[in-house]
Structures are given as structure tokens and as C-alpha cells.
Amino acid sequence: MTASPRAYTRGAVLPSSNPFQRLAELLDGESPGLDPVIMTIGEPQHAIPDFTGDILVENVADFRRYPPIVGSPEFRQAIAGWLDRRYGLDGMVDPEHGVLPLNGSREGLSFGAIAARDQLGKGLDHPAVILPNPFYQTYAAAAHVADAQAVLLDAIPGNHFLPDLDSLDAALLDETVAFYIASPTNPEGYPADIAYWQRLIALARKHRFYIFADECYSEIYRTTPPPGILEAAKAMGTDFSNIIVLNSLSKRSNLAGLRCGFAAGDPGFLRKWAKFRGLAAPQVSLPAQAVAVRAYQDEEHVAENRRLYNEKFEAAERLLGPIMGPVTSQGGFFLWLDVSRWGDGIGVTSRLWRDIGVKVVPGGYLASDQADGTNPGRNFIRVGLTAPLEQTEIALERMANWFGENA
């Protein structure tokens, strides 16, 4: 099937409320069957790096200063250095014009499509913004604020939960200004490989659109670090044109509340974006940037964070695998479980809460219906593995018993 825009309606794929508000409405008035275990929101619960408080104290006086929109030189250099070490980029990232601080990657994702639309100047009333389905809800908000036509590419198991690039026709791509993609995918946890990244980069350059590569789960993986889009561009022997990669400390360092992330890649795009952001965007505080400088120079806390998640995936495989087959993804900290043997995701979510007190998210709430009414998340539930191991094992054991008894 070839993907193409439906008739334009502003905000057509923008959910009326976020998945957690919808979940609250679904379970309103329902009592948990056992003591509740919450496995919904992807908010890290592991310890923050032990140096965080000391660095904030050392830099506390800088809270009285307005930070430069382009960030401190130390921040930009730390990000460029980390990207270089992580992806073997041989100094290709320009720390002067190829890195910008963000109030978490979400802020950059939200407003990147506006910059893409304005910088490309394709002269379209409603250019296309392509996003995976399911998707991080901010992607839909980005299309909305850019007054763009959101085109959903269903992420299905047969395509490793990555958008099917073969479904895109040339006419659609010529109207596209931004392509949003997460790797590892969210919520399924599968990474794009180098070949996939390179195909996407080639399309972006041929048809003149920007790729917004959401790599916020890049450091939460089982054994093999997932390749990044900048790494793929280097392997092509090219620069970073048409590429913006976004990441943050939220998942990598359990610092979701610090609101400190970055955009890196195409210096031409970022230089112009910085000028606009100087008029409209919130800056990132200098103490937060100082924490980031230290965090991106330290891999020990990241390795420990990864180990804790991997312990919980091992528990999930041990308890759920015999009933459901392999459940371990290559990246991220969610289980994306096909529950079609027991009903659809909404029905199973309700029953798990009523029967055993485990709260999960219906997969359909993380996706939008296509024009034909289909929803690629309908038969799935998302289970977050952010709680401590003991609590996670209690929930997984309950789920294993429930699925086994109701098979």
C-alpha cells in the first residue's frame, strides 16, 4: 500500500487528550483487583547520577543569568564530543553551529516542523509531515502547530516496527517538509540499521525534507548499541545535511525533570533555527547545562542504568516468554505485547486492572486511526519496566498467571 495524505483537516491525527487521560477515563470507577502496580508512564525511577546535586550547587549563581539560546561553549563541546565517541564521527560535528540545547528533546520535536516548513519554502498551504504510527504524541502536535498534513505510516511487526519507506510515493515526498522517526522505535523498541538510515537520508536529499531523528532511547539497549543517523551519514561519505538528531538526559541519565536535551546535525538548518529560537524559544538554564556537560562525559552511570533495565527484561522473558513467545525488544524500556489471543488492547487493559491490579496502556491509545478505521496498536498493550525490579516482578508474575489462566 502506498501512503498518501487524506483530505486536509487541521489536527486530524492530534489526539483529543493524551493517552494517560484516556486511560483514566477508561478505568474511571473501576477498582483494582489487587494492590495496584502502575506500569504506564515512561518516567525513569532509577537513581539520578550522584554528581547532579554537587554540580547544581557549584553553578547555582548562574540561575540569575539569562542563558544564551545557543548554549554554553562547554555544553556544545560536550555534546559534540559525546556524539563523536558514541558514533565514531571523527570530529564531523560542528560544536559552533551543529549543536543546540533544548528544554528536553520534546521541545525541539514540537517546533522543528515549523522551522522545516519555513526554511524549505515549498510554497504549500499544508505541506506533509510524515510520522510513524504508533508515535510519540508530540510528533502529531508538531504537525498541528506547523499547519501541516500529518501522514501516518503504520509500524507493524513485519517491517520491524519501522515506517515502510517503500510505501512512500514521489509526489508525497515532494510535498514533505519533515519526517519524524524514533530509533529505537517507541514503544516497540526496535532500532533502524545503517542501511535503513541511509535510504531515508537519500530520500530526504532527493525530495528536500528534513529528518527529525528521535534517538532518546539510544542508550537503553540490551547488548548492542543501536546505530545512529549521523553514523549512517558518515558511512555514506557525506555531511549531515537534512538531518537533525535529538536526544536528552531524560532516559539516558534518569534526569527527566532537568529538561535538558539537544539537537545536532545540519549546521545550516540549526544556524537559522537558532535565530528563530532567539525570538521564541525558552533557554536552558546554565546550571542544567553544567550537569549535562558532566553527564555526557560519564558512561558509568549509563551502564548501570542499562543493567537495571536488562534485569527486568530478563524477568519478563522468564515469566511471559513461555506464554507469549519472545517479549524482549532490542532497545527502550517497554514491552509491546500482542494480546490478540485475549482480546483487543483496551479490553485486556481493563481486565488486567480489574482482575490483578496491574495498570498498562492500550496500544491503540498510542496510535491514531487510519482513514479506513484501522489502528496498528489495537491488539497491543504497552508495559513500562521503569519500576524497581521487585515491584516489576510482582506485576509480571501476576500478568503471566492471568494470561496463562485465560488463554
Residues 92-130 have pLDDT tens digits of: 999 999 999 999 999 999 999 999 999 999 999 999 999
> Where is the domain boundary, 297, 324, 354?
297
Residues 161-213 have pLDDT tens digits of: 999 999 999 999 999 999 999 999 999 999 999 999 999 999 999 999 999 99
Q: Do residues 324 and 237 share a domain?
A: no
> What is the spatial distance between Cα 200 and Cα 173, in angstroms, rounded to a whole number?
11
Picking from 393, 392, 391, 368, the residue whose alpha carbon sits closest to that of residue 378 is 368
Q: Is 152 helix (H, G, I), strand (E, B) or coil?
A: strand
Q: Do residues 151 and 217 share a domain?
A: yes
> What is the spatial distance between Cα 385 and Cα 142, in angstroms, rounded to a whole number?
28
Q: Do residues 42 and 66 share a domain?
A: no
Q: What mean pLDDT value characterizes the chain?
A: 96
Q: Do residues 204 and 332 share a domain?
A: no
Q: Worst-scoring range by mean pLDDT, 1-5, 57-61, 73-77, 243-247? A: 1-5
Question: Would 9 be classed as within a structural domain?
Answer: no
Question: Would 345 be classed as within a structural domain?
Answer: yes
Q: Do residues 176 and 249 share a domain?
A: yes
Domain that holds residue 331: 19-47+301-405
Question: Would 317 be classed as within a structural domain?
Answer: yes
pLDDT at 1 over 50: no
Query: Counting every residue, how long is the chain?
Result: 407
Does the bond joining 134 to the residue before it have cis omega, within 30 degrees of 0? yes
Residues 374-407 have pLDDT tens digits of: 999 999 999 999 999 999 999 999 999 999 999 8
What total number of domains does the chain contain? Answer: 2
Q: Do residues 58 and 127 share a domain?
A: yes
Q: Do residues 386 and 270 share a domain?
A: no
Instruction: Give the three cell numbers for residue 256.
Output: 527527566
Q: Do residues 213 and 282 share a domain?
A: yes
> What is the spatial distance between Cα 184 and Cα 164, in angstroms, rounded to a whole number?
15
Instruction: Give the three cell numbers for residue 274.
Output: 537558532
Question: Would 241 be classed as within a structural domain?
Answer: yes
> Where is the domain boundary, 265, 297, 329?
297
> Where is the domain boundary, 270, 297, 324?
297
| Average pLDDT score over residue span 309-327 | 98
Q: Do residues 335 and 274 share a domain?
A: no
Q: Is 238 helix (H, G, I), strand (E, B) or coil?
A: coil
Q: Do residues 289 and 358 share a domain?
A: no
pLDDT at 81 over 60: yes
pLDDT at 2 over 70: no
| Average pLDDT score over residue span 218-243 | 98
CATH of the domain at 165: 3.40.640.10
Distances (CA, A) of 207 to 139, 176, 180, 182, 184: 20, 8, 15, 20, 25
Q: Do residues 42 and 166 share a domain?
A: no
Q: Do residues 40 and 105 share a domain?
A: no
Question: Would 14 be classed as within a structural domain?
Answer: no
Decide: pTM greater than 0.85: yes
CATH of the domain at 397: 3.90.1150.10
Question: Would 92 be classed as within a structural domain?
Answer: yes
| Average pLDDT score over residue span 337-363 | 98
Question: Would 2 be classed as within a structural domain?
Answer: no
What residues are paired with 337 via a beta bridge? 381
Question: Would 3 be classed as within a structural domain?
Answer: no
